[in-house]
Amino acid sequence: MELDFTRDEMMTIAASRALGNEDICFVGIGAPSAACNVARLTHAPDITLIYESGTIGTAPDVLPLSIGDGELCDTAVTTVSVPEMFRYWLQGGRITIGFLGAAQLDKFGNINTTVIGDYDAPKTRLPGGGGAPEIASSCGEIFITMKQSLRGMVDKIDFFTSFGHGEGGNAREELGMTTKGPTLLITDLAIWHPDPVTKEFTVIALHPGVTRDMVQETCGWKVKFADNLETTPEPTELELATLRDLNARTKAAHSGAGA
């Protein structure tokens, strides 16, 4: 089946659709940032985007390279200190959604962005948690987006950077967490929701052209599929044009071509 869009484009657009106009969203750099800004530029113009550096209500014209990118502060409604951002806004329960990526992810939505391998002698040292552990515990709910691979979607993560649902079930409640934790996973192949009881991620929709075998072959645990498995609607012309224009502007700006 030949598609007029890439798997990455489908992932980003599917993720953007999960966001609403009234959401206050703590945005991660990379794929989460792209999804959030596509939502802002299409169906959710009034969404409030917050980045870890303290920018509130930011509306970047290009995607930021990091949380310290000047584009975020330049376009924000206001910028507050990082301690205020975390203590008042995040830990105060004022943010509805945290949108995160992952280097490693398990079936209960636990995230590793710290090390691959043994912590004391890792094969790879990753960027670390930053504010993600606090985002994962304090936002109303967590959306996760990542490309599927056996290396990334694993049966057991090497390090708990950001707590999802632990070993499943009521693990969050047992630790005193009152937020929902991961409620949505969008990959380049499928849309996943946690089981209401076990909290194990279950595929509820396959992206166009994707098969069950393709999902299982790129996932390190035995995948569960919903009984009423759906197909993700294809990107609209507006969604694709918005994403492609955003990526083109970003590439030009970061390469110096936009100067």
* Range in 35-39, 42-46, 122-126, 226-230 the model is least confident about: 122-126
The reply to whether 33 falls in a domain is yes
173 token code pair? 């409640």
Q: What is the mean predicted confidence (pLDDT) over 199-204?
A: 98
Is the CB of residue 109 less than 8 Å from the CB of residue 194? yes
Q: How far apart are CA 102 and CA 225, in angstroms?
A: 22
* Range in 10-24, 118-132, 229-243 the model is least confident about: 118-132
More confident residue, 257 or 128: 128
pLDDT attached to residue 96:
95
The reply to whether 213 falls in a domain is yes
* Range in 54-63, 68-77, 91-100, 214-223 the model is least confident about: 68-77
Q: Could you tell me the pTM of the whole model?
A: 0.93
Size (the chain), residues: 259
Q: How far apart are CA 100 and CA 27, in angstroms?
A: 7
Give me the CATH number covering residue 250.
3.40.1080.10
Q: What is the mean predicted confidence (pLDDT) over 48-62?
A: 93
In angstroms, how far is CA 115 from the centroid of its own chain? 19
The reply to whether 205 falls in a domain is yes
pLDDT attached to residue 86:
93
Please count the structural domains in the chain.
Answer: 1
The reply to whether 2 falls in a domain is no
Q: How far apart are CA 55 and CA 74, in angstroms?
A: 9
Tell me the pLDDT band of 180, cut-offs 50, 70 and 90: very high
DSSP labels, the chain: ---SS-HHHHHHHHHHHT--TT-EEEEPTTHHHHHHHHHHHTT-TT-EEE-TTSEES---SS--SSTT-HHHHHH-SEE--HHHIIIIIITTT---EEEE--SEE-TT--EE-SEEE-SSSEEEE----TTHHHHHHHSSEEEEEE---TTTB-SS-SS-SB-SSTTSTTHHHHTT--S--EEEEEESSEEEEE-TTT--EEEEEEPTT--HHHHHHT-SS--EEEEEEEEPPPPPHHHHHHHHHHHHHHHHHHHTTT-
pLDDT attached to residue 259:
44
Tell me the pLDDT band of 69, cut-offs 50, 70 and 90: confident
Annotation marks residue 71 as catalytic: no
Q: 210-258: per-residue pLDDT in tens?
A: 999 999 999 999 999 999 999 999 999 999 999 999 999 999 988 865 4
71 Cβ partners below 8 Å, 6+ apart?
60, 61, 62, 64
The reply to whether 23 falls in a domain is yes
The reply to whether 98 falls in a domain is yes
Is the CB of residue 12 less than 8 Å from the CB of residue 250? no
The reply to whether 15 falls in a domain is yes
- Asked whether the predicted pLDDT for residue 186 surpasses 60, the reply is yes
Handedness of CA 98, 39, 31, 155 (dihedral sign): positive
pLDDT attached to residue 242:
97
Mean pLDDT across the chain: 94
Q: What is the mean predicted confidence (pLDDT) over 184-203?
A: 98
The reply to whether 162 falls in a domain is yes
**Helices 237-255/31-41 angle, 10° precision:** 120
Phi-psi category of 34—alpha, beta or left, where left has phi over 0 and alpha has psi -120 to 50?
Answer: alpha
Q: 82-94: per-residue pLDDT in tens?
A: 999 999 999 999 9
- Residue ranges making up the domain that contains 168: 7-255
259 token code pair? 């100067």
pLDDT attached to residue 256:
67
Is the CB of residue 220 less than 8 Å from the CB of residue 153? yes
- Asked whether the predicted pLDDT for residue 16 surpasses 60, the reply is yes
Q: What is the mean predicted confidence (pLDDT) over 148-165?
A: 96
Among 2, 9, 52, 200, the active-site one is: 52
